[in-house]
Amino acid sequence: MTPIITAFENSPDEGRDLARDMRLRWAFEEVGQPYEVRLLSFAAMKAPAHLALHPFGQIPTYQEGDLVLFETGAILLHIAGAHAGLLPADANARARATAWVFAALNTVEPPIVEREAAGYAERDKPWHRERLPMLDARVATRLDQLSARLGGADWLDGAFSAGDLAMVTVLQRLKGSALLDAHANLAGYVARGEARPAYKRAFEAQLEVFRAARRG
């Protein structure tokens, strides 16, 4: 049965791969699993039919038969567990790759999202300028630590895994910022992820949603 995911009908990033359905599209492409996408307006995301799938009214969701999932980490691990290509066969290596998925989403992503959200939600507050260096410092600390761990390796733990896929998509949110550019190995790591054929196919698919909307 072909899995169906949900994505923005009109993504605010205009097809620049920043919405979280991109992680799932990339994972499907890595493992060679065809998928379908159901596009949602913002109103539809908050309507009862979608809230029955996603309690927080967000995208993406995943449906396959009577299985319904939300949370990209859970969906990514589900896809990776069902197909070869994103998790190593060795049990310990598999557990470490899983840990990197959690590290990306629980440890590295939160300060990045917090900093990003401050940029658009708090910009007009009198304390915003005072808070910004602290938000930058929290991100910088995580990047310093991640950079030290990655060192000169291509991927975080041996071969490319679901952990790298999650981490690259998290770091992409910093592309073009001095914070990421301060670490040549992390910028190179993101570029290596984006150079993967599966990533390119996923990127084109999400960009096509924006192009199609423009064509009307």
List residues near ligand GTB by CB under 6 A: 11-13, 18-20, 57-59, 71-72
CB of 143 to ligand GTB, least distance (A): 19
Burial class (CB in 10 A: 0-12, 13-18, 19+), 128: middle
3-class secondary structure, 64: strand
Using the minimum distance from each CB to ligand GTB, give the nearer residue, 17 or 30: 17
Among the listed residues 110, 79, 93, 49, the one whose alpha carbon sits nearest the alpha carbon of residue 202: 79
Q: Kindly tell me which of 16 and 196 has the beta carbon lying closer to ligand GTB.
A: 16
Nearer to ligand GTB, 19 or 27 (CB): 19
Which of 28, 130, 167 has the alpha carbon at shortest distance from 86? 28
Cα 33 from chain centroid (whole Å):
18
Task: Please provide residue 35's backbone torsions phi and psi, each rounded to the nearest 5 degrees.
Answer: -150, 160
Residue with smaller CB distance to ligand GTB, 56 or 127? 56
